[in-house]
Amino acid sequence: MAEFKRPSGRGMTEIRKMSAKVGVIPNADGSAMFSFGDTIAIAAVYGPRLLHPQHMQDPSTAILRVNYDLLSFSVYERKKPGPSRRSQEISKVTEWALLPVLDLKEFPNTVIDVQVYILQADAGTRTAGINAASLALAHAGIPMKNLVTSISVGKQDKNIVVDLDKDEEDYEEGEGATDFPIAKVANSDEYTLLQLDGKIEPSEVKKALTIADEACEKVYEVQKRALKEVVEQ
């Protein structure tokens, strides 16, 4: 059997070129950009600020409110503007991915708004968005026990690969493609997001997570470097 080659020419565990920058939106309380290749996400944090309407306030904690939006011209086929089931789902899973590292008890009755915008999309937008949002929250000075790092692993036919781009997500040969986005608390075994679009054998999950863990360490390095740059300035 011929050896499998990724359409992108990347190695099986090779992540696209990553880049991160903190402090990209001066008027936000915290902000960051994170990219995997042609997928570019920006995140802006506003708050903590008093939550209105008042009946939604929680006297024991701040509320985290994430809004993910894939902009109309971020994709080849223009996307209808405005919220969709997909954007609602990704906003919610992004919230759940971030909440376990945050200590929001210090800010009763308030809301922390996190706006995640995808400026350019080539798959992996939820993972890039989580990485950007995690950096933006740190930049805003919200108490966090660690950063959240995120990446997608997946399969093309029988092969486990990391950080699928759109061509790879659309792979149709053999068993087709599987997308398995994960997020975890950096330097820990605590997963905060596990989603699955496609199929994976239970016996392959461990290998996929090991590859994801190694990739997350590289994501974390890029995140730390970006935070360090802004602290040094």
Stretch that binds ligand UDP, among 2-10, 47-55, 115-123, 203-211 (CB under 6 A): 115-123
Q: Of 61 and 195, which has the nearer Cβ to ligand UDP?
A: 195
Burial 75-89 (b: 16+ CB within 10 A, else e): eeeebeeeeeeebee
Residue span binding ligand UDP (CB under 6 A) among the ranges 69-77, 137-145, 185-193, 208-216: 69-77
Interhelix angle 125-139/202-232, rounded to 10 degrees, is: 40
Among 79, 139, 155, 184, interactor with ligand UDP by CB under 6 A: 79
Number of residues that bind ligand UDP (CB under 6 A): 14
Q: Which residue is nearest to ligand UDP (CB)?
A: 125
Element of type H or E holding 154: strand 148-156
Give Dmax over CA atoms of the chain in angstroms. Answer: 64
| Segment 173 to 232, residues that bind ligand UDP, using CB under 6 A | 179
Under 8 Å between Cβ of 166 and 181: no
Q: Does 15 bind ligand UDP (CB under 6 A)?
A: no
Among 5, 17, 86, 158, interactor with ligand UDP by CB under 6 A:
86
Residues in the chain: 233
